[in-house]
């Protein structure tokens, strides 16, 4: 099956190209200044969340970093299970509840191990006295292997909780509708299965995914996701309920009836290892690990470009009021840490 794209530094190769193989050109919205450092000395950060003027950043070793007005507090998380230290594993996705100001509740995705094996689970956490405590279990026994844990959590415009899951390095999981691996899952905020999910009594929203790590919805409600390909052939997909995105049967520019090919792909000779994704209208911005960049994709023109480079591996992005926030991921054992890495950055997007 080949190794995960997330296992190496960026290799030399052709420029990024979209499904139609057009030449990459600048997206219409471009950063115009040097990034501001919001926080540094983060320990393998994975996910950015923001509430009013406060940031919450998960760290894979099991902490949540609260950042407010230049002050950084590393908050402990008390898990019900032993956090796994396997490659790419740990505390991953994190999403604040819509009523966070009152409930102090968030949703989290983490990898654990016990005497029955290693799995991923989705839980609620509650914040009290700067300590997060696991409060309720929403979904358990999501497949976990040496790599490919997925891990992104997002609440969609329909007020449902979505989760990306990897194939756990067992590619057959992705096509198996009875497996939670290699999927995008959808659930009610209490962990129950929505009645309008595409498969009866199933959390599965879409399948045929290898290792998706980012989700976003544009203002018109369209869903997009980023996904690691097999050594190359990374993907940006338009996600629709019940659709099959092909892995491991097809990848990259390959096509097959009843399977969906990506809107954008890195192609066979280049690797992005895309992770977190957000949008500014018709512009998608994606963190790239092995690509060591923030990539911009123009949904109207089909053009794409590296818009932020020179900061190493990038794990997640968040856009708010034309401000792009992103976190580097150079301390995960696969990057080359710069001074005081890892860091949370801010940059203004201007037309």
Write the pLDDT tens digit of every residue in 175-208. Answer: 999 999 999 999 999 999 999 999 999 999 999 9
Sheet with 274-280, edge to edge strand ranges:
274-280, 283-288, 293-298, 304-308
CA dist., res. 39 & res. 31, Å (int): 20
Total Cβ atoms within 10 A of residue 78: 11
The vertex-74 CA angle with 68 and 77, nearest 5°, equals 120
pLDDT for 9 beyond 50:
no
pLDDT for 306 beyond 70:
yes
Give the model confidence (pLDDT) of 119-174 as tens digits. Answer: 999 999 999 999 999 999 999 999 999 999 999 999 999 999 999 999 999 999 99
CA 195 → CA 140, 202, 205, 272, distances in Å? 20, 9, 12, 36
**The pLDDT of residue 32:** 58
End-to-end distance of the chain based on CA atoms, in angstroms? Answer: 42
pLDDT category of residue 11 using cuts at 50, 70 and 90:
very low
What is the percentage of the chain residues whose pLDDT exceeds 70? 91
CA dist., res. 126 & res. 124, Å (int): 7
pLDDT for 307 beyond 50:
yes
Total Cβ atoms within 10 A of residue 160: 17
The vertex-15 CA angle with 12 and 17, nearest 5°, equals 135
Token readout for 42 is 């983060």
pLDDT for 1 beyond 70:
no
Q: In 3-state terms, what secondary structure has residue 174? A: helix
**The pLDDT of residue 319:** 98
Q: In 3-state terms, what secondary structure has residue 339? A: coil
Token readout for 96 is 């604040």
Give the model confidence (pLDDT) of 220-266 as tens digits. Answer: 999 999 999 998 999 999 999 999 999 999 999 999 999 999 999 99
**C-beta pairs of 96-105 under 8 Å, 24+ apart in sequence:** 96/49, 96/51, 96/56, 97/124, 97/189, 98/155, 98/159, 98/189, 100/51, 101/51, 104/128, 105/135
Q: Determine the average pLDDT of the residues in 91-100.
A: 98
More confident residue, 7 or 196: 196
**The pLDDT of residue 324:** 98
**The pLDDT of residue 328:** 98
Tell the residue number behind the tokens 């009152």, with chain if given: 102
Q: What is the chain's mean pLDDT, rounded?
A: 92
Whole-prediction pTM value? 0.93
**The pLDDT of residue 6:** 56
Q: What is the largest CA-CA distance in the chain?
A: 54
């Amino acid at each position: 099956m080949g190794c995960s794209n997330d296992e190496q530094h960026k290799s030399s190769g052709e420029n990024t190209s979209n499904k139609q193989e057009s030449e990459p050109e600048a997206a219409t919205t471009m950063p115009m200044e040097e990034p501001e450092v919001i926080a540094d000395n983060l320990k393998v950060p994975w996910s950015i969340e923001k509430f009013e003027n406060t940031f919450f950043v998960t760290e894979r070793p099991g902490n949540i970093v609260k950042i407010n007005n230049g002050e950084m507090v590393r908050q402990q998380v008390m898990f019900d299970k032993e956090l796994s230290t396997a490659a790419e594993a740990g505390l991953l996705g994190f999403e604040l509840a819509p009523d966070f100001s009152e409930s102090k509740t968030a949703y989290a995705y983490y990898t654990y191990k016990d005497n029955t094996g290693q799995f991923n689970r989705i839980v609620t956490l509650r914040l009290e006295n700067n300590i997060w405590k696991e409060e309720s279990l929403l979904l358990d026994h999501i497949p976990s292997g040496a790599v490919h844990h997925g891990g992104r959590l997002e609440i969609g415009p329909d007020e449902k909780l979505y989760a990306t899951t990897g194939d756990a390095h067992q590619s057959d999981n992705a096509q198996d509708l009875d497996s939670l691996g290699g999927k995008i899952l959808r659930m009610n905020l209490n962990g129950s299965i929505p009645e309008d999910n595409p498969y009866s009594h199933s959390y599965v929203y879409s399948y045929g995914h290898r290792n998706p790590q980012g989700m976003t919805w544009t203002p018109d409600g369209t869903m997009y996701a980023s996904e690691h390909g097999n050594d190359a052939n990374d993907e940006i997909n338009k996600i629709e309920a019940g659709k099959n995105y092909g892995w491991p049967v097809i990848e990259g520019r390959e096509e097959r009836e009843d399977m969906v090919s990506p809107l954008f792909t890195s192609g066979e000779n280049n690797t992005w290892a895309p992770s977190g994704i957000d949008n500014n209208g018709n512009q998608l911005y994606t963190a790239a690990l092995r690509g060591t960049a923030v990539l911009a994709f123009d949904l109207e023109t089909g053009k794409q470009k590296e818009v932020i480079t020179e900061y190493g591996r990038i794990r997640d992005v968040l856009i708010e009021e034309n401000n792009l926030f992103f976190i580097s991921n150079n301390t995960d054992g696969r990057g080359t840490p710069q001074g005081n890495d890892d860091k949370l950055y801010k940059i203004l997007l201007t037309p």
